[in-house]
Structure 1
Amino acid sequence: MTTRIAMWSGPRNISTAMMRSWENRSDCEVVDEPFYGFYLKQTQSPHPCFEDILAEQSTDYQEVVTNLTQTHCKTPLQYQKHMTHHMLDGVDLSWTKNLKHCFLIRDPAQVVNSYTNSMGQCRAQDIGIVRQAELYDEITQITGQSIPVIDSNDVLKNPKYILSEVCKALAIPFDMGMLAWPKGPRDSDGVWAKHWYHSVEKSTGFAPYGQRDFTLNEQQLNVVQEVQPYYEKMAKLRIMLPDAESN
């Protein structure tokens, strides 16, 4: 029987590196953003690779759910990389009951800066931070689980500690293979990899943590201010680093 793990993140986090980490386990297969096609069809949001994604992925919500919950998996673990903004308001989340869950968060200012650099502009609804907090509450209520939350900066500071704690919370063994992986693309990558995955394809592990200076304009600061309370709510729930490493 396969244990299916859903990781809920917003864009411009370390979500693809995290997917690489899990895929490098010998006992795990991964699924890359399975609701992207559904999201694009419903919103008509002008994303890179729009037509390719609609041609590649099912845009039928229930069909995707069936694939995620009932399709046979050859490995003991299946890791599902989900974007929170893909889960539109009002979608049926009852399918999440029999999965295990984790939430990956990131400082909103960093997200807004990175998203704007990639897309030219950034709105609150584009980065899924508000929706992430909503999904945490909804999925917790549906599943009754004590769902682990991790912050990308904490992962970069000490990936071994955070990932081992996540595995413990999910009641699965930690695998040292999660800390490093070979360079290059993967067959499991979504068709959008050609736009988004250039950096991760060059990576062999999580990048070292480092503060990067950047300046946000007024519109970007307004987005940060709008989503900050939702991030802070989630940050209070996160797995904490040992005190000496938290600063």
Structure 2
Amino acid sequence: MPTLMIFVKQQILFLLLNFLIRAIMNQKIIGLWSTPRSRSTAFMWMIKQRGDFLVLYEPFWPSAYYSKERIFNRVPDITPQAEYNYQNVLQDLKVKSQNNRLFIKDFPYYFIQIVNNEFIDYFQHTFLIRNPAQMLPSYYYKMPDLDFEECGYKELFELFNKVVERTGKIPIVINADDLVENTRDIVKEYCSRIGIPFMAEALNWNPPSNSNKIGWWDNGIWHDDLRISYGFQNTEKSYLKIHQDQKLLSLYNLCMPYYEKLNEYCLLQRK
């Protein structure tokens, strides 16, 4: 009888272990899709503080700029790397997700051309938006030769529509201003919607040290605000205003319609 009980317990443990393994393997990668200069890196850093996710920064960025399939030529004197080709990166994400709860943040304009039903099915899609009137001056300051395609609003909206069409559901959309003004409520609702526990302690953090590399191209100019932050916060900067520069105004007029459409679905309605 004791031998039988031991055998039964072993079988139960075996079944439970297999169930947990299958559950992990079937978990979708959580994707935070955004545009540049929209507090997405701060959001990623908040998720990293939780300790229950493997967090990856813009895995498709090298594909867009450094692969043999690159779509941007900002670094013309490089040797394209096949390891960064889109399917190789996607396969790497799939492998990592088999043993880890995976969270990535990325910009759809890096990869929108490869999005199909299989791609959509592999992710749990969440969106972060920011008013172009705030995003563009910051982006322009960092990258004066930016163009509409690298603003990313059109591709963000295109991915949103593809997700809705495929799933029949409206994905989570967060307005970046709400992360500052209603941090706890927004993050708590975000966690509830994607099915993870809310951890209030992750809302505050120690700034990344100078030796702590945040992303692929961390040359000291893109994450300077995060390196002095302890949570989601506004920063006062003397950027050009939209109406003070014709290029900014033109980009604003192109980006704003996509922002407004996405804003209709955000967790808190904003004017």
Query: TM exceeds 0.5?
Result: yes
SS for the counterpart of 2:149 is helix
Which residue number corresponds to residue 64 of structure 1? 89
Which residue number corresponds to residue 15 of structure 2? none
Return closer, same or farther for 1:188/1:81 CA change in 2, 3 Å cut-off: farther
TM-score, normalised relative to structure 2: 0.78
Does the CA contact (< 8 Å) of 1:149 and 1:239 recur in 2? yes
Which residue number corresponds to residue 181 of structure 1? 205
SS for the counterpart of 2:64 is helix
Q: Deviations over 1:29-67 (max 9, x none)?
A: 2010000111114223326xx959x67x94211111112
SS for the counterpart of 2:84 is coil
Which residue number corresponds to residue 29 of structure 1? 54
Matched, 1:230 2:248: no
Does the CA contact (< 8 Å) of 2:127 and 2:174 recur in 1? yes
Which residue number corresponds to residue 247 of structure 2? 219
Instruction: Report the alpha carbon displacement of residue 128 of structure 1 after superposing the two structures with TM.
Output: 0.3
- Tell me how far apart the structure 1 counterparts of residues 172 and 144 of structure 2 sit (CA, whole Å): 32
Which residue number corresponds to residue 80 of structure 1? 104
Return closer, same or farther for 1:78/1:177 CA change in 2, 3 Å cut-off: farther
The higher relative CO (CA closer than 8 Å, separation ≥ 6) is in 1
Does the CA contact (< 8 Å) of 1:21 and 1:177 recur in 2? no
SS for the counterpart of 2:50 is coil
Matched, 1:141 2:165: yes
Count how many residue pairs are aligned between Structure 1 and Structure 2. 239
Using the aligned pairs only, state the percent identity: 26
- Tell me how far apart the structure 1 counterparts of residues 111 and 59 of structure 2 sit (CA, whole Å): 11
- Tell me how far apart the structure 2 counterparts of residues 156 and 45 of structure 1 sit (CA, whole Å): 35
Which residue number corresponds to residue 129 of structure 1? 153
SS for the counterpart of 2:191 is helix
Instruction: Report the alpha carbon displacement of residue 117 of structure 1 after superposing the two structures with TM.
Output: 0.2
Which residue number corresponds to residue 6 of structure 1? 31
- Tell me how far apart the structure 1 counterparts of residues 78 and 184 of structure 2 sit (CA, whole Å): 38
Which residue number corresponds to residue 97 of structure 1? 121
* Long gaps (5+) in structure 1: none
Instruction: Report the alpha carbon displacement of residue 99 of structure 1 after superposing the two structures with TM.
Output: 2.0
- Tell me how far apart the structure 2 counterparts of residues 168 and 33 of structure 1 sit (CA, whole Å): 24
Instruction: Report the alpha carbon displacement of residue 179 of structure 1 after superposing the two structures with TM.
Output: 0.6
Matches within 5 A, 1:113-128: 113-128=137-152
Return closer, same or farther for 1:211/1:182 CA change in 2, 3 Å cut-off: closer
* Long gaps (5+) in structure 2: 1-23
- Tell me how far apart the structure 1 counterparts of residues 212 and 237 of structure 2 sit (CA, whole Å): 32
Structure 1 or 2, whichever has the larger Rg, is: 2
TM-score, normalised relative to structure 1: 0.85
Does the CA contact (< 8 Å) of 2:28 and 2:124 recur in 1? yes
Which residue number corresponds to residue 45 of structure 1? 73
Question: Which one of the candidate residues 152, 160, 168 is aligned to 2:176?
Answer: 152
- Tell me how far apart the structure 2 counterparts of residues 9 and 88 of structure 1 sit (CA, whole Å): 12
SS for the counterpart of 1:81 is strand
- Tell me how far apart the structure 2 counterparts of residues 70 and 18 of structure 1 sit (CA, whole Å): 24
RMSD: 2.8
Does the CA contact (< 8 Å) of 2:57 and 2:216 recur in 1? no
